[in-house]
Structure 1
Amino acid sequence: MTNLQTDILVVGAGMVGASAALGLAQQGYHVSVLEPSPQHEVDYQGAYDLRISAITTDNIRMLDELGVWSELKSLRVQPFNQLAVRKEGQNWLTMGNADKPAVLGYMIENNVLQYALLKALQRHPLIEVIETSVDRLNSEQGWALTDSGQRIEFSWVLGCDGAQSKVRQQSGIGVAGRCYGQSCLLTIVQCTDPVAAKTWESFAGNGEIHAMLPLQGNQACLIMYGSGQQVATWQASQEQLQEALNARFSREIGDFTLLSHGSFPLTRQTALNYVRQRTILLGDAAHTIHPMAGQGVNLGFRDVRKLLAVLQGMDMADPEAEVVTRRALGHYAVARRADNELMAQAMDSIAWGFQRNTGAVPTARNLVLAALQRFKPGRTILSAYASGVWKI
């Protein structure tokens, strides 16, 4: 068994973990990153990956500050300048301007972003990437054992290892949440006509949600949310899925051919503690929300930005500064929980408001949408909030 000492151990080199590791190394910390399956290569000339994120402009700025964006933007990324939403059968509420486009964000494949981040990790002299997983972890005493037999001693550990986080579990941090009773079906399609640089969502009266993400090369990611049984029925055959997609999307994007598809169940989950002992949770390890508006990874990136901001100018590895460090981490936990829970509740409320078809809700919804259609400053504020240009 070999021993390693590090200032900060980051478990998980996904988009959030890799970004946090880079930012902390830029602040002068020695960082060790555990990742069993790093994204060593990517074929961005080939088929699109099903996992695609709409990265908002505030988080693009963070990637630029981390030294990743200059390389990433030369790979396969697709800007979008409009957001639109509607109740099916009614007019679109569109935010952003197609005539004078200001980029609200970029569609980026998760594996492309992970690839660019991994290359940046490998270049940094204060970062060591170890291709292994955590076997055991003692957050209170500050050590971890890896599957490869290495013992790592750390001042702090960052749990960035996803919704089923082993770091969270072994740090004794519980979760609260619920299953939505829905699944998300992702598809990549090849369109006959050009695809506008606009992402949109349409709420059907039967509880389904349909969404479109624009991609390069006249391709698009089409998304349908429905019950688990519905999704299984849609995926029963290639022909059946193509037919279901045609019925829901052809009127908006014209003819298209199905290239690939996949699905996953939807859950909402939040960790009971973001910080406990020497553990700090970020991204899906701390919170998962309904992916309806594509805010999951953006919230994770905002966790990273807030953590880096509260730690600026501090020395987390200095035992004498631990009281000050814990006070800063307490501020991180409070601020990020408030923003994450607000977004999670907003997604649930929007879905409820659009899918409710009885009582006073439809009248109120129509009044709000009509007012926003007439009040351009309101749409500008909403687009700025959604793209991260402005936050409460």
Structure 2
Amino acid sequence: MFDFCINGAGMVGAATALGLAQQGYQVAIIEQRPPQPFNVQQPPDLRMSAISVASVDLLKALGAWQHIETMRLRSYSKLSVWEHPDCRTDFDAKDAGFDRLGYFVENRLIQLGCHQALKAFDNVSWFSPAHIASFTRSNNADDTVSVTLENGETLQTKWLIGADGAESQVRQLAGIGISGWQYAQQAMGIIVEFTQPVTDCTWQQFTADGPKALLPMHDNFASLIWYDSAARLAGLSRLSSAQLKQAIITDFPPLDDDFTVLNKAAFTLIRRHASDYVIPGVILVGDAAHTINPLAGQGVNLGFKDVACLLQQTAHQQAYSDDFLSQLQSGYERPRKRDNRLMMSAMDGFYTAFSNNHAPLKWLRNGLLKLAQHTGPLKHQVLKYAMGLA
């Protein structure tokens, strides 16, 4: 009998498992696709995240960060955003009294760091590779959840946590609805290697077709993010590395150094929000509960905020209390829904405001960027929010 059974051991799921294991609960982890082990000779993964200071603090508290930083990561201390070069806003961590704004880390390495930390706990049971076939629960919060795996094995748990991504199987099997839509734009991630190390500044230029951004990585590597229509990105996907390099030179802001295109992949942008984060016997965290436009790189950071909030509710063995369901709904679901909805709306506002050539709106947004450049307190507040500290 487990206290918590977590479906999905990605970044958010593994962090959740770590926190619950630290609190002394009996935890089961179901993972369908174990990550490839790290090798220093491996090229950078396409899937990477901007990890905020608050998320780093959580991962340190969970004992995972010490493993992540032995692999590879890249801190950054400056951020610039603009549409027209004369109307821009530059953020610098030192202006707000910090050493850095955050880190860029490959998703797999965050996952591996959490998995390494989990090895220290004997109250964690792994079922991997494994896949849920079904589960049953009742509307009585005191009953257990019976989880059946595809191999026929059955697990009994007090709570089943869906940390299994945007297409969450737990969410679907539980009958939890979602609202949302697919954005007109898509995005392409492009891994490039420069001849020299990349500076610690990340930047994003807004255009009517969508933003273009540079995310520094370890050594001479960087990730370029290219937003555009599905048709345009489909055409870019068919280009050779040399042809794609020429397209980048033509359409991107000038890059400081010569580079080689190593890898690329396009992905759709979809907003999803679950109608419930908590129902009797089931909890959703991370992308299983919400996905967001990645304009500001807040996706996984919102997931880690879910983890921190959930762990506050489970602390001191509170999961054994008679009113734990209502406690989760008021102390976890309600505040996390509010915060996630606010961030979703803010990103949609940026998306709508900048993805067009409407003249009055273009004048207004450039004026706001120029004004923000000279408004210290406002910039500091935006920085703290982006770092997860406000």
Coarse TM-score class (shorter-chain normalised): over 0.9
Q: Which moved more, 1:250-259 or 1:24-33?
A: 250-259
Distance 2:36 2:220 in 1: 27
Q: Residue 159 of structure 1 aligns with which residue?
A: 162
Distance 1:220 1:98 in 2: 23
Q: Residue 109 of structure 1 aligns with which residue?
A: 106
Distance 1:84 1:139 in 2: 49
Listed as ranges, the matches of 1:1-392 within 5 Å are 5-39=1-35, 41-97=37-93, 102-131=99-128, 132-140=130-138, 142-205=145-208, 207-238=209-240, 239-249=242-252, 251-316=254-319, 318=320, 321-358=321-358, 360-390=360-390
- Whether the 8 Å contact between 1:8 and 1:32 is mirrored in structure 2 is yes
Distance 1:355 1:182 in 2: 9
SS at match of 2:283: strand
Unaligned 5+ runs, structure 2 = 139-143
Distance 1:173 1:222 in 2: 35
Residue 329 of structure 1 deviates from its aligned partner by: 3.5
Distance 1:355 1:267 in 2: 16
- Whether the 8 Å contact between 2:88 and 2:369 is mirrored in structure 1 is no
Q: Which moved more, 1:136-145 or 1:361-370?
A: 361-370
Instruction: Kindly report structure 1 stretches of 4+ aligned residues shifted beyond 6 Å.
Output: 98-101
**How far does the alpha carbon of each residue in 1:117-151 deviate from its partner, in whole angstroms, 9 at most, with x for none?**
11222321111111111110113351110112210
Distance 2:254 2:220 in 1: 16
Question: Cα–Cα, structure 1 residues 250 and 352, in superposed 2: closer, same or farther, change >3 Å?
Answer: closer
Distance 2:207 2:256 in 1: 17
**How far does the alpha carbon of each residue in 1:320-374 deviate from its partner, in whole angstroms, 9 at most, with x for none?**
x232443233321010011111111111111222234325322332332222111
Percent identity between the two aligned chains:
35
- Whether the 8 Å contact between 1:203 and 1:209 is mirrored in structure 2 is yes
Distance 1:160 1:245 in 2: 36
Partner amino acid for 2:380? T
Distance 1:139 1:90 in 2: 59
Partner amino acid for 2:115? L
Q: Residue 141 of structure 2 aligns with which residue?
A: none
Q: Which moved more, 1:209-218 or 1:55-64?
A: 209-218
Q: Which moved more, 1:31-40 or 1:363-372?
A: 363-372
Partner amino acid for 1:377? P
Residue 380 of structure 1 deviates from its aligned partner by: 1.6
Distance 1:98 1:88 in 2: 25
Distance 2:380 2:61 in 1: 26
Distance 2:111 2:369 in 1: 38
Residue 98 of structure 1 deviates from its aligned partner by: 7.0
**How far does the alpha carbon of each residue in 1:9-39 deviate from its partner, in whole angstroms, 9 at most, with x for none?**
0000000000001101111100000002222
Distance 2:98 2:323 in 1: 47
Q: Which moved more, 1:371-380 or 1:90-99?
A: 90-99
SS at match of 1:388: coil
- Whether the 8 Å contact between 2:82 and 2:204 is mirrored in structure 1 is yes
Question: Cα–Cα, structure 1 residues 336 and 300, in superposed 2: closer, same or farther, change >3 Å?
Answer: same
Question: Cα–Cα, structure 1 residues 264 and 94, in superposed 2: closer, same or farther, change >3 Å?
Answer: same
- Whether the 8 Å contact between 2:53 and 2:387 is mirrored in structure 1 is yes
TM-score (norm 2): 0.93
**How far does the alpha carbon of each residue in 1:192-240 deviate from its partner, in whole angstroms, 9 at most, with x for none?**
34311111111113x2210110011121100101111110111222133
Distance 1:168 1:101 in 2: 39
Residue 241 of structure 1 deviates from its aligned partner by: 1.6
- Whether the 8 Å contact between 1:88 and 1:204 is mirrored in structure 2 is no
SS at match of 2:187: strand
Residue 177 of structure 1 deviates from its aligned partner by: 0.7
- Whether the 8 Å contact between 1:187 and 1:259 is mirrored in structure 2 is yes
TM-score (norm 1): 0.93
SS at match of 1:312: helix
